[in-house]
Structure 1
Amino acid sequence: MRKLLRTILLSFSALLSLSLLLFTQPVFATLNESEPRRHAISMHGDPVYGLDFTHFNYVNLNAPRTGSLRRAAMGSFDNFNAYIVKGVAADGTSYLFDTLMQQSSDEAFTLYALVAEFIEVPDDRSWVRFHLNPKARFSDGSALTAADVKFTFDVLMEKGVPQLRAQYKEVTKVEVESESVIKFSFKDNKNKELALILAQLPVFSEKDWQGKDFAKATLHVPLGSGPYTIKSFDAGRSIDYQRNDNYWAKDLPVNRGRYNFRHVIFDYYKDGSIAFEAFKAGEVDFRSENISKQWATGYQGKQFTSGNIIKEEIQHQNPQGMQAFWFNLRKDKFKDPNVRKALGLMFDFEWTNKTLFYGAYKRSESFFSNSELAARGIPEGDELALLTPFKAQLPPALFTQAYTLDKTKGDGRVRKQQRQAISLLKQAGWTLKSGKMVDAKGKQLSLEFLVYSPSFERVIQPFRKNLQRIGVASEIRIVDVSQYINRLNSFDFDIYTLIQAQSLSPGNEQLSMWGSEFANVPGTLNRIGLEDPVVDELVTAVINATDRKNLVAATRALDRVLLWKNVVIPQWHISSYRVAYWQQIQRPEKLPQYSLAIDSWWQKADTVSGQAAIGGSSTMNGLSISRQDN
């Protein structure tokens, strides 16, 4: 859970921080030799920051704490609860809530004291106990107690998004031991990251939610304990977060040097091109660019040559997950893997990358791109041992050939791929008659691409022309962000495009992504409806991995099986952030390797105009829907 918890939940702009990361035996920093309580918990190695640390290394303690960060969000919003299936949550709602512990951005997966002042975990990791900071308060000054933590857990299990239920499912008992102490007991000691996942739990006020339906999408402003409160909003159009000057945790080590902007404002746009023009006009301060053509040709003019706008690519070490065309496997026409493979052959990535993207991207050939978790070569060692019991249920080639995607010359000619695709479709029972690919009843194979951004048409149109060459009909359905989310949540689609994010330490969140039990649960991350017993077993192996070596082997096995099942048509990825921002916005000289850490940036004191601001990346009930070239 980790970064995913953070995106999921972020926006989930995080929370699904699914900060899932490196891992062997969890290690804890100890207060003293006789005291079992710890200030930090790490999945791999020792925490970087000891008990006496004062701040994260990537913040600027001298940064001005004033001004505004203005950002653009896409679509609209109808509620402030990013933890439910219904509605579209406003960007930035994670600013409202503190979590039990805070993840650092310069470590794979380590959490430090926040709401929980100390943590206890036994050697067998069969339970976790959190000792809350007695100073913890909600923004109205009321005490934050263990009862609020239990209420939060219970309401998320009952009414929260299904991915949270998947992550918390092995918690068997929650005990409020005192006003400031809460204990979670687990089904067994196999799930090594569960304590860390629970440490990322946001905390809601039980009193504030009394008499209200948590699962209902409303514009009720929830009472939080985080660094910002909502100053004002215009429903569906803008929201202004104002820093809480009485924020109870502002002087804790995890927060010093962070949350420097007095205001963070998200202004909503229906069209990406209008949002870009707003940025160039100075109405937006910061922009993360996802469209390669725009990055190559659009950032020009006086604002850029004068240095008023800073444009830079910032390298990172985050796994890139999988951006792809995702099939709805519930539909009969996509059930045969030969059909899915045939359709994938007609997507000419090499031509697309050269012609549309200025050669900016790499083809994604893994669900864990840009990481050691990606399957490679042929299976061997521990990975082979995991896969061998399922040999009869898997393609024979999986054990003898490295998975590779077909490559074209990039000249727009796909005759070889065309012949292969027609052959595969024939094996699946389809026939090419009079220029149409038809089934036994004479019905033509047809597809609908569901998108929310008109700019993605330029990617799909050439793909459609190639599909037409093998007799497959297709159309593009463009909807707004709210409709897009609702259609995905109700499984009303043929093919959609999205990034499925991953982190360095996959775990419980994989169950919601691929598990059969979540294939038909509205709001699940298993939007494609995958139901496969081998995948289920491999997900369990990932979750129960006892050390980093076993985790890598299990994840590679899972990755390999998903790839050979052809459940997606892979697109592309890039291993850097492409950002632009007006010169009054400044950042730390050295950023952490796993995040832009935008909450550690600041505005120059001498440029503050007193005007509040804008912000955000579109989210999908906690999951970011931004993608490269959207």
Structure 2
Amino acid sequence: MRAGEIANPSRRAALAGMLGLLGLHFSGRALGQETIARHGIAMHGEPALPPHFTHLPYADPAAPKGGRLTIGVVGSFDSLNPYIVRGQSAGEVQTYVFEPLLIRSLDEPFTLYGHVAQSVEMPDDRSSITFTLNPAARFSDGVAISAETVAFSLDILKRLGWPNLRNYYSKVERVEILGPRRVRLSFPAAQDRELPLILSLLPMLPQHRLDDTRFDQTTLEAPVGSGPYIVGDVDVGKSVVYSKNPDWWARDLPFTKGLHNFSEIKIEYFRDDNTMFEALKKGIIDLRPEDNPTRWQTGYDFPAAREGRVIRESFTSGLPKPMFALAFNQRRDVFARREVRQALTALFDFEWINANLFSNTYRRTHSYFEGSELSAIGVSASAGEKRLLEPFMDKMPAAVLGGTWRAPVSDGSGFDRTRVREALDLLAGAGYLPKDGKLRDRQGQALTFEAMVNLHEHERLLLAWRRVLDRVGIDLRIRVIDSAQFERRRQNYDYDMIPWAWGASLSPGNEQAFRWGSKVADQPGSFNLAGVKDPAVDQMVLALLAARQREDFVDAARALDRALIAGAYVLPLYHLPERRIAHASSLGHPQKTALFGPTFESWWRKPASP
């Protein structure tokens, strides 16, 4: 018997004993506050869709079914477990094979609707959440999902899952099994209004299939989930085929109508972006997002594009633009001083790089919530923000507080002497002065650091930056490594500088602590790549999670933006104004684009002409 499997007839009693050792309990009693069953929950306000909606607004319920979609990914994989730190997982398993209790609508900032759990109850103070499971919900092997499944999934991920999952799930103080299909999670001390939504995204894991003594080990055994696809052919490191489960329990639910339309989805892995582009040209893959503006303008003059078999489309998104940046690893002494980080940012000549490398296609990114009401750029701090930031005002530059700060702008010459003088003054304040053609500290050590990349496009960017750094006496070494090594070193913070893109949403919350929080700065596997340990940032994240009203939430988000900008923890780079995708003309998609942008799960293969 695998660990987690409870034999009948004493299965419930045995599980109760196991859960009791973990501080979990069975109960049929309600907590103090009255609750009502809901079809969905939103972080702020109410769900946009009514209880009996027929389909999602960005899905076409009449979409054709069948065919194969082949997608390209740069990288590799050696594991099919997407929930652990070890190994490099095929991340799509999480999307296609496993399902959460509730599913997120991609047309609202942060709203979840019933799925594995058909309804949810939550008191006004959000100190608990109760799920009633759909009686039809089951894994692909036919085993029903129960309240015990929820308890098992929470426990194993809290102990052995990714660090961010452990952080979230450890806030749950009590698990109550209220019946075969009802379970309550309580967290009265959390003071985290987002936590009920985070817990609603708990993936359902099959306790009858998993050995929890080996869960944190890499595996290539095909996982069993409750999602629309099952794992088919696997060529380790090269490709995975996901086959539609014809018996998928949720295939007729309103939330899934018009989604998951392909009979097969194949993920092909490539060592670099250029190789993947060649695969598109040859018809090996069906689509790829295009982030290279020069290639978008001039690179699509090949037979399939000229003949209309590959087309290009641009899509807009209602989300803030991602923060694509170079992270300064403050765990390394070279980047411990803010003046050094600010000086290096001043020496990055975006205007010259954008004109000479990218045909002026990119826009400079200034904010961690660029292009949204959550951004502090162009907006003076409100009274609410000032109250939040009051203990940290000594670290808050006037330009950041007043909303006038921008990433440095050059004259576009490739060596703006005004910006160079500003940078040298900052470096002198940090103890770096010119000597023997190099900038050296008081001990005579040259200012030198290494940037680690896994894409040649990023190498090209850094080579352009290095032109300026060389002239002022700063040594930048560029190390290009493969994606597997890049991921291992990223997880262990084994780098001086690293390029990264942090996605943004209109409902930032707990993920901000995992990106910038002091508690995870030394925890392997977090996305705090810069090693930020800033009390101001920590407090602003807590304010985000405690906000009950939209006004307070916006204040907290803007205050967080200001705290991160003031710290100069990353060198902000750029973004495209729209999302560009090249794809086979045989693919179709709904007319409406979701708030989050194009969602491939709503696309389909057009039927062949007779």
Q: Same fold (TM over 0.5)?
A: yes
Alignment coverage as a number of residue pairs: 575
Match of 1:6 in 2: none
TM-score, normalised to structure 1's length?
A: 0.89
After superposition, the C-alpha distances for 1:491-533 in whole angstroms (9 at most, x for unaligned) are: 1100000101121111111111111111100001212211112
> Take 2:406 and 2:269, find their aligned partners in 1: how far apart are those partners?
40
Tell me the secondary structure at the aligned position of residue 37 of structure 1. Answer: coil
Q: Does 1:74 align with 2:74?
A: yes
Change in 2 beyond 3 A, CA 1:35/1:483: closer
> Take 2:40 and 2:174, find their aligned partners in 1: how far apart are those partners?
23
Match of 1:615 in 2: none
Kindly state the Cα deviation for residue 123 of structure 1 after the two structures are TM-superposed: 2.1
Kindly state the Cα deviation for residue 233 of structure 1 after the two structures are TM-superposed: 0.6
Q: Does 1:467 align with 2:484?
A: no
Tell me the secondary structure at the aligned position of residue 38 of structure 2. Answer: strand
Kindly state the Cα deviation for residue 461 of structure 1 after the two structures are TM-superposed: 0.6
Q: Does 1:258 align with 2:259?
A: yes
Tell me the secondary structure at the aligned position of residue 296 of structure 1. Answer: helix
Instruction: Work out which structure has the larger RCO, using CA pairs closer than 8 Å and 6 or more positions apart in sequence.
Output: 1
TM-score, normalised to structure 2's length?
A: 0.91
Tell me the secondary structure at the aligned position of residue 517 of structure 1. Answer: helix
Contact map agreement 2:106 2:594 (CA 8 A) in 1? yes
> Take 1:401 and 1:100, find their aligned partners in 2: how far apart are those partners?
40
Kindly state the Cα deviation for residue 120 of structure 1 after the two structures are TM-superposed: 0.7
Q: Does 1:311 align with 2:312?
A: yes
Q: Structure 1: 5+ residue runs without aligned partners?
A: 1-33, 609-630
Tell me the secondary structure at the aligned position of residue 254 of structure 1. Answer: helix
1:175-194 paired onto structure 2 within 5 Å: 175-188=176-189, 190-194=191-195
Match of 1:14 in 2: none
Kindly state the Cα deviation for residue 368 of structure 1 after the two structures are TM-superposed: 1.1
Kindly state the Cα deviation for residue 271 of structure 1 after the two structures are TM-superposed: 2.3
1:24-35 paired onto structure 2 within 5 Å: none
Contact map agreement 1:73 1:91 (CA 8 A) in 2? no
1:379-398 paired onto structure 2 within 5 Å: 379-395=381-397, 398=400
Match of 1:38 in 2: 38
Change in 2 beyond 3 A, CA 1:57/1:535: closer
Contact map agreement 2:401 2:562 (CA 8 A) in 1? no
Contact map agreement 1:448 1:477 (CA 8 A) in 2? yes
Change in 2 beyond 3 A, CA 1:535/1:415: same
Kindly state the Cα deviation for residue 401 of structure 1 after the two structures are TM-superposed: 6.6
Q: Which letter does structure 1 place at the counterpart of 2:84?
A: I
Worse-superposed segment, 160-169 or 540-549: 160-169
Tell me the secondary structure at the aligned position of residue 231 of structure 2. Answer: strand
Kindly state the Cα deviation for residue 395 of structure 1 after the two structures are TM-superposed: 4.3
Question: Identity over aligned residues, as a percent?
Answer: 39
Q: Does 1:59 align with 2:56?
A: no
Contact map agreement 1:231 1:240 (CA 8 A) in 2? yes
Contact map agreement 1:166 1:509 (CA 8 A) in 2? no
Match of 1:512 in 2: 514
Match of 1:197 in 2: 198
Contact map agreement 1:166 1:508 (CA 8 A) in 2? no
Tell me the secondary structure at the aligned position of residue 256 of structure 2. Answer: coil
Kindly state the Cα deviation for residue 593 of structure 1 after the two structures are TM-superposed: 2.2
1:222-241 paired onto structure 2 within 5 Å: 222-241=223-242
After superposition, the C-alpha distances for 1:170-227 in whole angstroms (9 at most, x for unaligned) are: 3221222222111110134732222111111111011111265111122122210000
Q: CA RMSD in A?
A: 1.7
> Take 1:255 and 1:396, find their aligned partners in 2: how far apart are those partners?
50
> Take 2:417 and 2:569, find their aligned partners in 1: how far apart are those partners?
24
After superposition, the C-alpha distances for 1:15-41 in whole angstroms (9 at most, x for unaligned) are: xxxxxxxxxxxxxxxxxxx98211111
> Take 2:115 and 2:273, find their aligned partners in 1: how far apart are those partners?
37
Kindly state the Cα deviation for residue 263 of structure 1 after the two structures are TM-superposed: 0.3
Contact map agreement 2:315 2:597 (CA 8 A) in 1? no
1:9-408 paired onto structure 2 within 5 Å: 36-93=36-93, 94-188=95-189, 190-210=191-211, 212-376=213-377, 377-395=379-397, 398-399=400-401, 402-408=404-410
Q: Which letter does structure 2 place at the counterpart of 1:483?
A: Q
Match of 1:19 in 2: none
Match of 2:15 in 1: none
Match of 1:617 in 2: none
Worse-superposed segment, 410-419 or 183-192: 183-192
Q: Which letter does structure 1 place at the counterpart of 2:174?
A: K
Match of 1:9 in 2: none
Q: Structure 2: 5+ residue runs without aligned partners?
A: 1-33
Tell me the secondary structure at the aligned position of residue 594 of structure 1. Answer: coil
Contact map agreement 2:316 2:597 (CA 8 A) in 1? no
Contact map agreement 1:403 1:560 (CA 8 A) in 2? no
Tell me the secondary structure at the aligned position of residue 440 of structure 1. Answer: coil
Contact map agreement 2:363 2:576 (CA 8 A) in 1? yes
Kindly state the Cα deviation for residue 166 of structure 1 after the two structures are TM-superposed: 2.8
Kindly state the Cα deviation for residue 605 of structure 1 after the two structures are TM-superposed: 2.1
For the pair shown, the structure with the greater C-alpha radius of gyration is 2
Worse-superposed segment, 295-304 or 311-320: 295-304
Match of 2:523 in 1: 521
> Take 2:585 and 2:400, find their aligned partners in 1: how far apart are those partners?
52
Contact map agreement 1:296 1:358 (CA 8 A) in 2? no
Contact map agreement 1:121 1:129 (CA 8 A) in 2? yes
> Take 2:330 and 2:35, find their aligned partners in 1: how far apart are those partners?
52
Q: Which letter does structure 2 place at the counterpart of 1:590?
A: K
**Match for residue 574 of structure 1 among 557, 573, 576:** 576
**Match for residue 420 of structure 1 among 419, 422, 428:** 422
